[in-house]
Structure 1
Amino acid sequence: MNRQHLAELSAFLGVARERSFTRAAAQLGVTPSALSHSMRALEERLGLRLLNRTTRSVTPTEAGERLLRSVGPRFDEVEAELASLSALRDKPAGNVRISADEHSLKMVLWPALRRVLPEYPDIHVEIVTDYTLTDIVAERFDAGVRFGEIIAKDMIAVPIAPEARMLAVASPAYFDARGRPDTLEQLTDHNCLNLRLPTYGGLYAWEFTQNGRELRVRVEGQLVFSSILPILEATLDGFGIAYLPLSLIQPHLDSGALEAVLSEWSPPFPGYHLYYPSRRQPTPAFATIVEALRYRG
């Protein structure tokens, strides 16, 4: 197979996986028009339509799906073998893609990466921050970060942080004006700051546990955000009660800028874990990042 045919297949895999010429072009480092030209050449050579194109979407045809299933894993194997050659270098090299939320990035990932990356200038890390329950295999991430209790059983999970805890908190000024809730039911009488989850589009229901009893409380309030850092700012400014990770709010509890309520309903639970498919063969670069992040107590 000549080089042009390989390039055409690589172009097809990029578009079929991303469902977008624009995103695939950005990933491959080419222009969308060049990608479109490669796709036309491949379809003409095979005499088959591989992609259904509309103004809003790109999806594989039946032939495209078959080609994606048969050729995609082989290209992945080649990429993995090439990456494994970095073991022959003096220092690991390669790319590592991680999916994480902004809190784990701020509190766990970046502090560790800040220490280790200067030692390994040939390791390149890409972190995509969001709150979706990303399918790291389908989205071609090397790993993801989640709390330990929600990781699928078929994944390898490496602890990268101590136990976590969520607390309902507000500023003293808010509590002085509105009072402090003594029961979970009283939260519905308060102005609560909500987090909208992009995966399902709904609002996060606050999860409480006491003596084996679990409750999910749906709260209401004036403000809704799509990430927790603005929620923290609004809480500090006295706009209501928020449900936030203890690791994020501890300095503000210590200073008195925030106060916790209903803490008896918020026991610790497994903290952040780095997770990746059990069938994955770690490259030296990936193994280096895992060891840098591993929590040792």
Structure 2
Amino acid sequence: MKSHLDDLSIFVAVARAGGFREAAKSGTRSASSLSEAIRRLESQLGVRLLNRTTRHVSPTEAGQGLLERLSPALKEVEAALDVVNIYKDRPAGTLRLNVPVNVARNILPQIVPPFLAAYPEIKLEIMAQTGLIDLLAEGFDAGIRYDERLEQDMIAVPIGPRTQQFALGASKTYLDRKGHPQHPRDLLDHDCIVHRFSGGGPQGWELEKDGESVVVMPEGPLVIRSGGAADLAVRSAIAGTGVIALFRDWLDPIFATGELEPILQEWWPTFSGPYLYYPGRRLVPAPLRAFVDFIKTQTFEFRQPPL
């Protein structure tokens, strides 16, 4: 039975990594031993689980069905075995988090180093992406999202600043060329850097002032998808491509250098900060329990200097 579980775990690891070499990089087994385990599992089950090419592997229809059912089950096995951690002096193990790019860039750097210093036997793995996912199916212990994007039936714990703000800015060269907008509606006559969620349409800019709310659908020559392309958007705005709207804690340092100038400051919207969330209907792994306790008891200082 143990051998069978080992092979099933290897199947999940290879399917997620998209290849034997990629899976081997994050473990202690060679690519050839992983390939042999998959062949053994396929022989036992009597069905092909992975399509193989020289550069990539992907689940077959049977393999995809097994992966979808198996991933949560293996997480439950890991969580059950993790119960013994409560008898250790220090929690140990791996904590896997899925977080938005902004959180990874601007919030976690103030949390992760002291947490790892306090729990040296915990290994932290972080995937930064913006789209919604199935935590258990993707192999994560917890995620971080904003309240309007939280999954249902999840336990949510505040993490980081409790309020944040969106800011708008543009370079001096762009504003000298196109003029300074005085009202959100003026943005319709400007080149804007458009943000589009994966699988969705452009994201509107909802601006507010003294109880008045205005939603602007920006248009412009550059459209970015959620994720790491935000850095490209920032550099493009600095180069004069157009107006950018982004988290203020991301843009404040750039405003300070003068590479971008803030615009429409009185209209910048404020919203609630992010939450750590995880399934409530399962055992909580010791590393996650330690992380939750840590963020509940620690006070972090998030400065947003006035403009």
Q: Which residue of the partner structure matches residue 205 of structure 2?
A: 207
CA gap 1:99/1:76 in 2 versus in 1, 3 angstroms: closer
SS state of the match for residue 35, structure 1? helix
Gaps of 5+ in 1: none
- Structure 2 residue runs of 5 or longer lacking an equivalent are 301-307
State the match for 2:93 in structure 1. 94
- TM-score, length of structure 1 as denominator length: 0.81
TM-score by length of 2: 0.79
Specify the code of the residue in structure 1 equivalent to 2:247. P
Please give the alpha-carbon distance, in whole angstroms, between the structure 1 residues aligned to 2:94 and 2:275: 20
Go from structure 1 to structure 2 and tell me whether the alpha carbon gap of 1:67 and 1:228 turns closer, same or farther (over 3 Å shift): closer
Who is 2:41 aligned against? 42
How do 1:48-63 residues align onto structure 2 when only pairs under 5 Å count?
Answer: 48-53=46-51, 55=53, 58-62=58-62
Cα separation, 2, equivalents of 1:63 and 1:172: 54
Alignment partner, residue 169 of structure 1: 169
CA–CA distance in structure 1, aligned partners of residues 151 and 97 of structure 2: 17
- Aligned pairs, how many? 292
> What is the percentage of aligned positions where both structures have the same residue?
31
Go from structure 1 to structure 2 and tell me whether the alpha carbon gap of 1:67 and 1:244 turns closer, same or farther (over 3 Å shift).
closer
CA distance in 1, matches of 2:71, 2:220: 46
Greater shift, 164-173 or 259-268, is seen at 259-268
C-alpha separation in 1, matches of 2:216 and 2:28: 45
TM-superposed CA distance for 1:64, in Å, is: 7.4
- One-letter code of the match for 1:208? E
Q: What's the CA shift string for 1:204-258, capped at 9, x where partnerless?
A: 4232144475625132035757532343344344443110111222344456554
8 Å contact kept, 2:170–2:243: yes
8 A Cα contact 2:193 2:223, kept in partner:
yes
| Partner deviation per Cα, 1:90-135 (whole Å, 9 max, x = no partner) | 1111111111233212221121112221121101101112233333
What is the CA RMSD across the aligned residues, in angstroms?
A: 3.2
1:194–1:203: 8 Å Cα contact kept in structure 2? no
1:37/1:167 CA distance change after superposition, 3 Å: same
Summarize the alignment of residues 145-160 of structure 1 with structure 2, pairs less than 5 Å apart.
145-160=144-159
Q: Is the 8 Å Cα contact of residues 205 and 218 (structure 2) preserved in structure 1? A: no
> Match of 1:174, as an amino acid?
Y
Kindly report which structure 2 residues correspond to 1:79-118, keeping only aligned pairs within 5 A, or say none: 79-118=78-117
Distance in 2, matches of 1:68 and 1:228, equals 31
Q: In the aligned structure 2, how far is the partner of 1:116 from the partner of 1:13? A: 29
- Out of 279, 282, 287, the position equivalent to 1:277 is 279
What SS does structure 1 have at the residue aligned with 2:164? coil
Equivalent residue number for residue 186 of structure 2: 186
Tell me, yes or no, if the aligned pair for 2:122 and 2:287 is still in contact at 8 Å: yes
The answer to whether the 8 Å contact 1:11/1:35 transfers is: yes
Letter aligned with residue 35 of structure 1: L
Given residue 170 of structure 1, which amino acid in structure 2 is its aligned partner? A
1:50–1:61 CA contact under 8 A, matched in 2: no
Amino acid at match of 1:272: P
Q: 2:175 corresponds to which letter in structure 1?
A: F
